[in-house]
């Protein structure tokens, strides 16, 4: 994924047309990832850039003020004189205000795909659900069956270790779980089956497991 500096809109040269082309190149790259259904990290990156631009607006309005001229008793707000900002600040304002809609448009495209994936992913449990869920196995079914050993953390992240890639030629998921349980000091390890429906595993399926299903799948007791 092509990266974009978090301070791209305030870095030299501060020129609206120049920044437009930088942003366009970045967004085209993100859009290409979305067309391949690769949501992460591009979607998180987009959200962060939108937040940064909004913070610029909020912080400028909050901390950069003119002289205090009065008080609006009806709204209970202080009144400040309007500042005449330097040309450079005005140019940054234009860059920010014109960039937010472009970023949001691509973000909405990514969110649409995200909702589609969430709707189509099939997640189920193999065998009995144990009380202890911090360790176990995740089977991700695609062209082959990817078998991951996982550990979950309070930070809502998963540590995954790909331990095997199996063709669809085994007796049952339950028997596979029993065989794998011999490698863990757990009689009934938490085992989750995810049918990927053809979506990218590392860029879409696994991040969604962490971000959308962490609490219900890997909750701490």
Which pLDDT tens digit goes with each residue over 10-31? 999 999 999 999 999 999 999 9
Q: What is the mean pLDDT of residues 30-41?
A: 96
Same domain assignment for residues 199 and 131 = yes
CA quadruple 121, 122, 123, 124: dihedral, nearest 10: 180
| More confident call, 15 vs 165 | 15
Phi and psi torsions of 191, nearest 5°: -135, 125
Structural domain boundaries, residue 187: 121-218
Least confident of 34-43, 45-54, 182-191: 182-191
Whole-prediction pTM: 0.82
Is 173:98 a contact under the CB 8 Å cutoff? Answer: no
With respect to residue 100, please indicate whether it lies within any of the assigned structural domains: yes
Picking from 140, 193, 134, the residue whose alpha carbon sits closest to that of residue 164 is: 140
Same domain assignment for residues 28 and 59 = yes
Q: Read off the pLDDT band of 42 (50, 70, 90).
A: very high
Same domain assignment for residues 88 and 159 = no
Helices 87-120 & 42-63 angle (0-180, nearest 10): 140
Same domain assignment for residues 125 and 106 = no
With respect to residue 49, please indicate whether it lies within any of the assigned structural domains: yes
Boundary residue ending a domain (71, 95, 113): 113
Least confident of 54-68, 97-111, 136-150: 54-68
- 3 state SS of 24: helix
pLDDT at 138: 93
CA-CA distance, 160 to 152, in Å (whole number)?
A: 9
pLDDT at 221: 47
With respect to residue 160, please indicate whether it lies within any of the assigned structural domains: yes
Same domain assignment for residues 171 and 139 = yes
CATH assignment at residue 213: 3.30.420
- The DSSP output letter for 200 is -
Same domain assignment for residues 105 and 133 = no
pLDDT at 213: 78
Same domain assignment for residues 131 and 105 = no
CA-CA distance, 166 to 170, in Å (whole number)?
A: 8
Same domain assignment for residues 92 and 165 = no
Boundary residue ending a domain (79, 113, 147): 113
Same domain assignment for residues 148 and 200 = yes
Q: What is the mean pLDDT of residues 55-83?
A: 66
Same domain assignment for residues 154 and 83 = no
Please tell me the total count of domains within the chain: 2
Same domain assignment for residues 144 and 207 = yes
Same domain assignment for residues 85 and 44 = yes
With respect to residue 64, please indicate whether it lies within any of the assigned structural domains: yes
Boundary residue ending a domain (113, 129, 150): 113
């Amino acid at each position: 994924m092509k990266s974009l500096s978090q301070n791209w809109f305030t870095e030299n040269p501060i020129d609206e047309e120049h920044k437009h082309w930088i942003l366009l190149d970045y967004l085209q790259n993100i859009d290409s990832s979305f067309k391949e259904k690769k949501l992460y990290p591009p979607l998180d990156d987009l959200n962060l850039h939108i937040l940064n631009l909004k913070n610029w607006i909020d912080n400028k309005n909050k901390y950069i003020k003119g002289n205090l001229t009065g008080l609006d008793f009806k709204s209970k707000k202080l009144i400040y004189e309007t500042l005449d900002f330097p040309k450079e600040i005005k140019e940054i304002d234009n860059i920010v205000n014109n960039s937010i809609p472009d970023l949001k448009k691509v973000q909405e495209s990514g969110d649409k795909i995200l909702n589609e994936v969430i709707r189509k992913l099939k997640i189920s449990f193999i065998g009995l659900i144990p009380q202890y869920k911090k360790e176990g196995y995740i089977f991700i079914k695609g062209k082959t069956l990817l078998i991951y050993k996982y550990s979950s953390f309070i930070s809502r992240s998963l540590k995954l270790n790909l331990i095997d890639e199996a063709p669809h030629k085994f007796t049952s998921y339950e028997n596979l779980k029993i065989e794998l349980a011999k490698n863990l000091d757990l009689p009934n390890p938490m085992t989750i089956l995810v049918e990927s429906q053809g979506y990218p595993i590392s860029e879409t399926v696994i991040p969604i497991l962490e971000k959308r299903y962490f609490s219900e799948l890997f909750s701490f007791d």
